[in-house]
């Protein structure tokens, strides 16, 4: 296995006979910060290399649905730091995330956390790793000592630009991209995504926005482009449109989980696999319905409570299977639900508001459900009479 993309300040290989990491007593690396979890794998998304799971930031600024308050910012920064220190380098946001005067707050916070992560911790080092198998099939691990600046430089921000009614031209789409970049104060956005399609209600606007995707890629404002909430037919159309103009479609983001795996979602997944598009699954925990935290008699406050009241009573077969597998594996229900998305070849982006949630989500990495467990969950999902309501913006 080649390591041409690694630029370590130091490299050590020191596994003892029990496969435990060890350092000599005289080692100068005693102050290393060890990750809580080891997300060995990385996946390709177009030209980018990202963690197999990202973190979603819809809640960072959303008061109506998620109860955001600015007093949460210090904990959100802890969440960001914990994620990056444990190998997560993909963060999803949008220019519409944030309610009222807080519009764009999610992007602003991400930019702030990136800057302060670099400044506050530039003297510290992190331990990352790579694994490969020797010819005798023995597992060999290389631990790489990386500076914080290198870790920061590898962070990929995937932001989405809303198809607002007043964004009618490619030029306006480009300006939206520049505005997001300015809010985050970064040189280049990782993945620039069209938040939703207007094909169902404003087809002429759709083509203008597609032209905007081409423009932000050609101008170097983004490293890659993607779409969100595109159904199978429109996904193929925009793929062909971009390909004809020399722009690869790197990602497609849709609602995808054990309660959102209908015919359209599975067709989207198959299209992505055949065309080399990376599927990013948002709401992998069904807005919280797949956490095991809520019951028909214990519902969240606000608009989510109304939705949960309709759907939760019909999820019992699925929740029973999730709980059974979680107990057998000494995992939690959310970790099993997220791992299901990983095993389906998608990049889940669960939302996080607290350090506890971040730690739990990280526990979904580093292991895989068995084929029998996947079949059990698939069957339980099909037997559950209720499903998540699809996003109204998803096209056919």
Task: Please check whether residue 244 lies inside any domain of the structure.
Answer: yes
Q: How confident is the model at residue 127 (pLDDT cuts 50, 70, 90)?
A: very low
pLDDT number for residue 15: 41
Task: Please check whether residue 250 lies inside any domain of the structure.
Answer: yes
Task: Please check whether residue 336 lies inside any domain of the structure.
Answer: no
Task: Please check whether residue 325 lies inside any domain of the structure.
Answer: no
Span of 100-104, 249-253, 363-367 with lowest mean pLDDT = 100-104
Model confidence pTM above 0.75 = yes
Q: Is the pLDDT of residue 78 over 60?
A: yes
From the list 68, 97, 239, 282, the catalytic residue is 97
| Mean pLDDT over each residue of the chain, to the nearest integer | 83
Q: Is the pLDDT of residue 41 over 90?
A: no
Task: Please check whether residue 368 lies inside any domain of the structure.
Answer: no
| 3-state SS string for the chain | CCCCCCCCCEEECCECCCCCECCCCCCCCCCCECCCCCCCCCEEECCEEECCCCEECCCCCCHHHHCCCHHHHHHHHHHHHHHHHCCCCEEEEECCCCCHHHCCHHHHHHHHHHHHHHHHHCCCEEEEEEEEECCCCCEEEEEEEEEHHHHHHCCEEEEEECCCCCCCCHHHHHHHHHHHHHHHCCCCEEEEEECCCCCCCCHHHHHHHHHHHHHHHHCCCEEEEEEECCCHHHHHHHHHHHHHCCCCEEEEEEECECCECCHHHHHHHHHHHHHCCEEEEECCCHHHCCCCCCECCECCCCHHHHHHHHHHHHHHHHHHHHHHHHHHHCCCHHHHHHHHHHHCCCEECCECCCHHHHHHHHCCCCCCCCHHHHHHHHHHHHHCCCCCCCCCCCCC
The reply to whether 241 belongs to the active site is no
Task: Please check whether residue 85 lies inside any domain of the structure.
Answer: yes
Domain count across the chain:
1
**CATH, residue 69:** 3.20.20.100
Q: How confident is the model at residue 123 (pLDDT cuts 50, 70, 90)?
A: very low
Between 395 and 280, the higher pLDDT residue: 280
pLDDT number for residue 120: 40
Mean pLDDT to the nearest integer, 252-269:
93
Task: Please check whether residue 323 lies inside any domain of the structure.
Answer: no
Which domain range does residue 253 map to? 43-121+153-288+344-353
Task: Please check whether residue 189 lies inside any domain of the structure.
Answer: yes
Q: Is the pLDDT of residue 267 over 80?
A: yes
């Amino acid at each position: 296995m080649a390591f041409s993309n690694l630029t370590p300040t130091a490299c050590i290989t020191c596994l003892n006979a029990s496969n435990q990491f060890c350092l000599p007593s005289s080692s100068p690396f005693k102050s290393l910060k060890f990750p809580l979890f080891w997300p060995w794998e990385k996946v390709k998304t177009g030209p980018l290399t990202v963690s197999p799971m990202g973190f979603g930031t819809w809640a960072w600024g959303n008061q109506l649905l998620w109860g955001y308050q600015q007093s949460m910012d210090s904990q959100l920064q802890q969440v960001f730091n914990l994620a990056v220190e444990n190998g997560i380098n993909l963060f999803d946001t949008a220019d519409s995330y944030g309610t009222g005067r807080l519009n764009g707050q999610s992007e602003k916070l991400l930019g702030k956390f990136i800057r302060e992560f670099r400044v506050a911790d530039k003297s510290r080092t992190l331990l990352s790793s790579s694994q490969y198998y020797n010819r005798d099939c023995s597992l060999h691990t290389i631990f790489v000592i990386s500076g914080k600046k290198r870790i920061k430089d590898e962070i990929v921000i995937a932001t989405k630009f809303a198809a607002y009614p007043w964004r009618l031209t490619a030029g306006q789409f480009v300006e939206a991209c520049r505005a997001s970049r300015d809010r985050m104060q970064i040189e280049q956005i990782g993945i620039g995504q069209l938040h939703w399609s207007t094909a169902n209600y404003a087809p002429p606007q759709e083509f203008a926005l597609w032209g905007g995707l081409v423009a932000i890629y050609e101008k170097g404002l983004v490293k890659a482009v993607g779409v969100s909430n595109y159904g199978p037919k429109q996904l193929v159309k925009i793929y062909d449109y971009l390909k004809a103009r020399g722009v690869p479609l790197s990602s497609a983001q849709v609602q995808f989980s054990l309660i959102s795996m209908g015919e359209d979602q599975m067709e989207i997944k198959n299209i992505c696999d055949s065309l080399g598009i990376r599927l990013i699954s948002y709401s992998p925990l069904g807005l919280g319905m797949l956490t095991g935290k809520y019951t028909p008699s214990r519902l969240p406050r606000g608009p989510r409570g109304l939705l949960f009241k309709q759907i939760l009573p019909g999820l019992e077969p699925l929740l029973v299977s999730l709980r059974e597998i979680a107990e057998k594996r000494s995992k939690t229900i959310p970790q099993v639900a997220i791992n299901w998305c990983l095993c389906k070849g998608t990049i889940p982006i669960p939302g996080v508001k607290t350090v506890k949630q971040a730690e739990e989500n990280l526990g979904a990495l580093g292991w895989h459900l068995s084929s029998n467990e996947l079949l059990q969950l698939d069957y339980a999902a099909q037997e559950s009479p209720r499903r998540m309501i699809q996003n109204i913006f998803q096209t056919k």
